[in-house]
Amino acid sequence: MSGALTEQPAEDRREPGGADGDTHLLLSGWHLAAARAVWAVLALGAAVLYAAALPARYAQLQTTCAAGACAPGQVAAGTLVPSGAHLPTTTYAGALLALDLLFAAVYIATALVILWRRSADRMALFVSLMLVLWGLTFTGTMDALAQLHPLWFVPTAGVRFLGAALITVFFYVFPDGRFVPDWARWLAGLWVFSQVPKYFWPAAPLNPDRWPHALNFVVSTGFLGVMVALQVYRYRWVSSAQRRRQTKWVVLGIAVSLSVYLIVLLVGYVVNPGPGTAGYVLGAALLNASLLLIPIAIAIAILRDQLYDIDLLINRSLVYGILTGVLAALYAGSIFLLGWFVRTLTHRQDDSLAIVVSTLGVAAVFQPLRRRVQFGIERRFYRRRYNAARALEAFGAALHSEVEMAGLGEQLVAVIQRTMEPAHVSLVLLPPREAPKEMWDAGASDHSVSVSSEPASRNGSRNALGTRRPYDGE
């Protein structure tokens, strides 16, 4: 005797209007031609300004500046640099310029891939333009052109402002290109408008950078908090399953990138390698590299969000991120305490024993600690999956003692209903294969178990086994 089970969770429903609910994002006709033309003008204009700024940036990095008025990476006059760490001026300037070029190239290449694959999608056009402008303006290369040739101040300020505005709007409209709720467009517009003095009139009192630090912090934190809250609202109450996967990809990329970025900044603050040194070039390379995951995550979210299991990646990132932090703290703390204890007993400045014991201790607790962290994350962030695993384990144990098919069927349907929460689930027991085909449906009716959480009239279609699919045709 065989069984057939069909179910479809409610969260897997597709939005109406196409396979993925994206018809409102597609452009055609003159709208598509106009959008592509605007994209080309803005992207090419920004690229021309960036190319013109490269010689100015190279010259800027080879000259010294007055203390307090230096551009990023510029060496202040009178700075004492250790001879062993000092780089030749041309080598130093060329290395930083090459890092800026590589950073911009990765962002532009990612944007072009998105444009090539989804050139008729207005969200893809918007995101690709945002990546181009952000990659060209983030490193500050264009500032050198405005400083060396003030005539170019307005064009460079316009490109920098547009890049910052697009990335702000991106966090309000991703992933479906809509402001949710509708009044969020006014909040985003207010923030973008408040940044105009920062780029075009930096000396004006309305420039947020010239506000008191406390006021600037409160306003920036408030806008950021509202933006995050709106994305949480969109994720919980508006987004479909596909949109949630796209959001997870972007959040994961940004979270990992910013975590690495902050760690590199903290290490740089402690080590404090000055401009003109190899350490400064290494720090700049690590900072740039840490932000390259963001465009890659955005591209995957738009083009191939189902290619990898994003929940598994998030789970592993949480587990090994927490595990690394805990083990590093244990290792450093044990070396300090054991070293102090050994020095107190032996009166010798030798920490080799403490290092060996600490290393062996960390190696011994790695697997037990990893299991505990994994267990805690499963219970805290994947509670439904954790409960489902426990319920399935209990059902597997019941299989060894339950022999009545009717009781076993009731337990199976109850487990599916409790763990997967489908709108409707049916278990149909089929007769042996040698029975006539016309007996299947009739015979199954005497041995079927069905539990439904919604009215049966929701959808009248049935499959070959007589099992109702709750969302067929929706």
C-alpha distance from residue 28 to each of 20, 123, 173 (Å):
18, 14, 21
Q: What angle do CA 426, 427, 430 make, to 5 degrees?
A: 135
For the chain, domain boundaries:
24-63+85-308, 318-381
Report the pLDDT value the prediction gives residue 49, as an integer from 0 to 100. 93
Interval 431-438 mean pLDDT = 54
Question: Cα separation of 244 and 310, whole Å?
Answer: 10
52 falls in which pLDDT band (50, 70, 90)? very high
Answer yes or no: is pLDDT of 335 > 50: yes
Higher pLDDT, 442 or 215: 215
Q: Is the peptide bond before 150 cis (omega within 30 degrees of 0)?
A: no
To the nearest whole percent, how much of the chain has pLDDT over 70? 71
Higher pLDDT, 12 or 126: 126
Report the pLDDT value the prediction gives residue 101, as an integer from 0 to 100. 94
Interval 156-180 mean pLDDT = 91
Higher pLDDT, 8 or 308: 308
C-alpha distance from residue 217 to each of 171, 189, 212, 214 (Å):
19, 19, 9, 5
What is the chain's percent helix, strand, coil content, to nearest 5?
Answer: 70, 5, 25
Report the pLDDT value the prediction gives residue 333, as an integer from 0 to 100. 83
pLDDT (tens digit per residue) in 86-130: 788 889 899 999 999 999 999 999 999 999 988 888 888 999 999
Interval 416-425 mean pLDDT = 64
Report the pLDDT value the prediction gives residue 165, as an integer from 0 to 100. 93
User: Long-range contacts of range 191-198, CB-CB < 8 Å, 24 or more positions apart?
Assistant: 191/223, 192/165, 192/168, 195/161, 195/164, 195/165, 196/161
pTM of the model: 0.68
H/E run at residue 424: strand 424-430
Q: Is the peptide bond before 88 cis (omega within 30 degrees of 0)?
A: no
Interval 338-353 mean pLDDT = 76
* 158 neighbors 190 (Cβ within 8 angstroms): no
Average pLDDT, the chain: 77
Q: Within the chain, what is the greatest distance between any pair of CA atoms? A: 97
Report the pLDDT value the prediction gives residue 10, as an integer from 0 to 100. 37
397 falls in which pLDDT band (50, 70, 90)? low
Report the pLDDT value the prediction gives residue 38, as an integer from 0 to 100. 93
Report the pLDDT value the prediction gives residue 468, as an integer from 0 to 100. 39
Question: Cα separation of 359 and 148, whole Å?
Answer: 54
Where helices occur in 12-119 by DSSP H, the ranges are 29-61, 89-117
